[in-house]
Amino acid sequence: GNHNRTAVITGSTSGIGLGVAEALAASGCNIVLNSFTDSADDHALAKKLADDHGVEAAYASADMSDANACRDLVEQAAKRFGGVDILVNNAGIQHVAPVEEFPVEKWNAILAINLSSSFHTIAAAIPHMKKAGSGRIVNIASAHGLRASPFKSAYVAAKHGVVGLTKTVALELAETGITCNAICPGYVLTPLVEAQIPDQMKVHGMDRETVVREVMLARQPTREFVTIKELGGLVIFLCSSHAAQMTGTALPMDGGWTAQ
């Protein structure tokens, strides 16, 4: 079990990040939830995790586009819980546009939030993990860390960057007991994705099943979404002792997308 281990999950008030936080809390970890909104709902999510799973949980607001805020998030977590054993870099945003029209501020924001934030949190976490003699770093990349799609230049560049960062950090930490791996999900049924289905049905004049199968999951051979629970299970495995010799990997969980 993960009792007395502390996990920091960036971008964890919704979707995959929240699901990973729930899985880690259920395994006994103390949890630091993060987003940049600092709302009453955010703090309530941490309280619910603590109550549901009998662990300690705190919400910490930090904007992952801000280098100092990224580093401070890790330092504050280490101060409050006495260390950071597990770091999950999950915060991410998307913007879709042809490269010659891609807004510069969107490019900069995506590179900052989806890639540079991981550099900063990892740099801040390593001294604490080295002191403990162990640690787990899990970066939520994407199938777009391994494959490209048109109109997603910033996202694809950032996610390929996450895979490169993951490999480099793994090599630097190879003899420390700290592993660093990336997970590359295909299309995941998050609330955000779920909310797009009615619009897609209207635009394409299709029923739900056809939109999911022919539009959303066109590149996912199983024609099924990856679930948040399945991703949580992979994170738990990577954080376990069974994964001690897995480091520097980019693991697809993508219904066969990257087999093509």
What is the DSSP code (8-state) at residue 116? I
Taking the mean position of all CA atoms in its chain, how far away is CA 148? 19
**Residue 188 engages ligand NAD in binding (rule: CB under 6 A):** yes
Q: How far is it, in rounded angstroms, from Cα 169 to Cα 155?
A: 21
Helix/strand/coil for 227: coil
User: 132 vs 218, which CB is nearer to ligand NAD?
Assistant: 218
The reply to whether 187 belongs to the active site is no
Among residues 52, 45, 46, 2, the alpha carbon closest in space to that of 24 is found at: 2
User: Which CB, 192 or 244, lies closer to ligand NAD?
Assistant: 192
Residue in 155, 187, 225, 257 annotated catalytic: 155
- x/- mask, ligand NAD, residues 192-211, rule CB under 6 A, reads xx------------------
Choose which of 2, 121, 142, 181 interacts with ligand NAD (CB under 6 A). Answer: 142
Is 137:125 a contact under the CB 8 Å cutoff?
yes
Query: How many residues can be counted in the chain?
Result: 260
Instruction: Pick from 9, 11, 121, 217 the residue near ligand NAD by CB under 6 A.
Output: 11
Write the interaction track for ligand NAD spanning residues 53-82; mark x where CB under 6 A is met and - where it is not: ----------xxx-----------------
Number of residues that bind ligand NAD (CB under 6 A): 27
Nearby residues of 162 by Cβ (< 8 Å), 6 or more positions away? 89, 114, 115, 118, 139, 141, 145, 182
Tell me if 257 contacts ligand NAD by CB under 6 A: no
124 in Cβ contact with 79 (< 8 Å): no
Looking at 23, 187, 217, 234, which residue binds ligand NAD (CB under 6 A)?
A: 187
Task: Give the active site residues.
Answer: 155
